[in-house]
Amino acid sequence: MSSRPAAGGGRWVEVPPARMARWLENFTARHGPPEVAAGETGIQLTAPDGAVAVLHAPPGMPAPGDLGGFLASMETPRRLGLLLARKSAVAVGIADGERLVVSKVDSRYVQSRTAAGGWSQQRFARRRENQAKAAAGEAAELAVRLLLPEVGTLAALVTGGDRRTVEVILGDRRLGPLAALRAERFLDVPEPRHAVLVEAVVAARAVQVLVRDPE
């Protein structure tokens, strides 16, 4: 499990589905038996001591009406598309439950620096922009080949990396059906590699829990 501060207070905890039941047991042991309610953003647990935890459904999972339905649906294997991109690399994959069944990683050199001053700086900037556009175009072609034919089988598309680069890739008109499946969750990942893609499957399936401890 991983944890990070949440904007506005509290912290985000990412819990793998297999560990969710145990996490709930520990939350109850620490804070007391919580009241459970279904809200717009997820299942909310409010403990007697004031602690609050909101369980957010993983991408592709229908919004449940109660905690039991959440836990049952959470365990259901889903087929997810993955698109991780930065300016110089892209990783595309399909996960069937925990398994990465399709994967492809591609990289392309993009100028990382510009020369200082004058026309030289402008030429470097133009070259870098053209390299980035070419890389995004190749990434879109990769998504068209690997993800678009499977779009009817996917519960959601999970993206990550550099938001601007991902937006440019999904701006390709051919990828409209894929973009329509894009999940709200955006993964913070380093330069895409196969190992990063494998880890992204775990992050995409995790239950995100917003925890606010009692004051």
Cβ atoms of 208 and 56 within 8 Å: the answer is yes
Helices assigned H by DSSP within the chain: 20-31, 67-74, 118-146, 163-170, 176-179, 194-205
pLDDT value at 186 more than 60: yes
| Model pTM score | 0.86
Coil, helix or strand at residue 155:
coil
207, β-bridge pairs: 15
pLDDT tens profile 96-133: 999 999 999 998 744 454 445 555 666 655 655 655 56
Cβ atoms of 1 and 15 within 8 Å: the answer is yes
Q: Per-domain residue ranges for the chain?
A: 2-76+206-212, 79-205
pLDDT value at 54 more than 70: yes
Helices assigned H by DSSP within 89-193: 118-146, 163-170, 176-179
Q: Are strands 79-86 and 156-161 parallel, antiparallel or unpaired?
A: parallel
Topology of 79-205 in CATH?
Nucleotidyltransferase; domain 5 (3.30.420)
Kindly give, in sequence order, each residue whose CB lies less than 8 Å from that of residue 16, ignoring residues fewer than 6 positions away: 1, 202, 205, 206, 207
Give the chain's mean pLDDT. 88
Q: Which of the pair, 64 or 38, is modelled with greater confidence?
A: 38
pLDDT value at 134 more than 70: no
